């Protein structure tokens, strides 16, 4: 899976409301149509005749009329037009729904537990101690990001059962089944692969508990990242995966990401696993 990103020596995780507003979003299946409409609108340039041919060479020439392309607020409005009935839902598909993380102690602890299980490297001795220490690091990062990140620069998205009656089949109501972090970044080494971009949306920390894997949870999380990317006005999504993680690479490839770069071979000489850089362009 994608690496759990480290920043300022802390694992990055967070979430914020949309500037204090509650928004209802269209299902992911209409996102492709929205992006196509935006692309057409941005390229719309109509040339019209100011006079008919019967007027001949009267010295009037052609008029160039450009229709206004929609701004980000227009795109947001189009996304929000269709009501899903769930005020917090970004995506609802395959029996799962994705929303931004709630800033509650209980949910933040659950997020930290899911990511700790996904990214903790077992130790030969005192493994329980090191696991709890790692989980505490993840939880500390949640608080750090909530205090220091604007709501349109960083978010933690969580997946859960889409139907209310699904909660009766699990131990807790609103049991989280997946987590992903998204951050707006501007790393020059990445930007050289992104034509015309000054920033991009970085996807990291994607984690799904073992008993929910291979059930399209990660796919829905990636779809929600695309919705956020449109809302925030970013054309590119970027992520990293380990070169030898064939399962993760297949997931990202099927989601439309393409490989653009690899870590230099010398990283393996110092005991690090080689990573690949993958990119998806939305419009």
Q: Catalytic amino acids?
A: 252
Q: Give the burial class of 269: count Cβ atoms within 10 A of its Cβ; 0-12 exposed, 13-18 middle, 19 or more buried.
A: exposed
Asked if 13 and 252 count as a contact pair (C-beta separation under 8 A), the reply is no
Side-chain-side CA neighbours of residue 152 (13 Å): 12
Q: Rounded CA gap, 188 and 194, in Å? A: 10
| The token pair that represents 207 in the structure block | 């984690």
| The token pair that represents 267 in the structure block | 């990283």
Which residues in 34-67 are b (16+ Cβ under 10 Å) and which e? bbeebeeeeeeeeeeeeeeeeeeeeeeeeeeeee
Task: Give first-to-last CA distance, the chain, whole Å.
Answer: 25
Q: Rounded CA gap, 73 and 25, in Å? A: 14
């Amino acid at each position: 899976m994608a690496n759990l990103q480290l920043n300022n020596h802390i694992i990055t995780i967070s979430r914020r409301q949309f500037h204090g507003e509650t928004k209802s979003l269209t299902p992911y299946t209409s996102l492709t149509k929205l992006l196509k409409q935006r692309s057409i609108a941005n390229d719309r340039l109509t040339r019209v005749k100011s006079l008919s041919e019967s007027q001949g060479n009267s010295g009037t020439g052609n008029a160039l009329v450009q229709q206004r392309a929609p701004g980000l607020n227009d795109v947001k409005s189009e996304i929000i037009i269709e009501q899903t009935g769930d005020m917090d839902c970004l995506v609802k598909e395959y029996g799962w729904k994705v929303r931004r993380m709630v800033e509650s102690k209980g949910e933040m602890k659950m997020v930290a537990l899911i990511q700790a299980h996904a990214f903790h490297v077992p130790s030969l001795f005192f493994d329980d101690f090191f696991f709890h220490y790692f989980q505490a690091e993840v939880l500390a990062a949640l608080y750090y990001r909530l205090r220091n990140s604007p709501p349109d620069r960083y978010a933690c998205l969580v997946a859960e059962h889409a139907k209310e009656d699904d909660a009766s089949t699990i131990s807790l109501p609103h049991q989280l089944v997946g987590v992903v972090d998204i951050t707006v970044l501007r790393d020059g080494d990445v930007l050289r692969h992104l034509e015309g971009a000054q920033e991009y949306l970085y996807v990291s920390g994607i984690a799904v508990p073992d008993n929910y894997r291979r059930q399209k949870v990660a796919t829905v999380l990636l779809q929600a990242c695309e919705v956020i990317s449109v809302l925030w006005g970013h054309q590119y999504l970027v992520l990293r995966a380990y070169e030898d993680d064939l399962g993760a690479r297949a997931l990202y490839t099927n989601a439309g990401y393409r490989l653009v770069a690899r870590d230099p071979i010398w990283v393996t000489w110092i005991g690090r696993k080689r990573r690949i850089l993958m990119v998806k362009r939305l419009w």
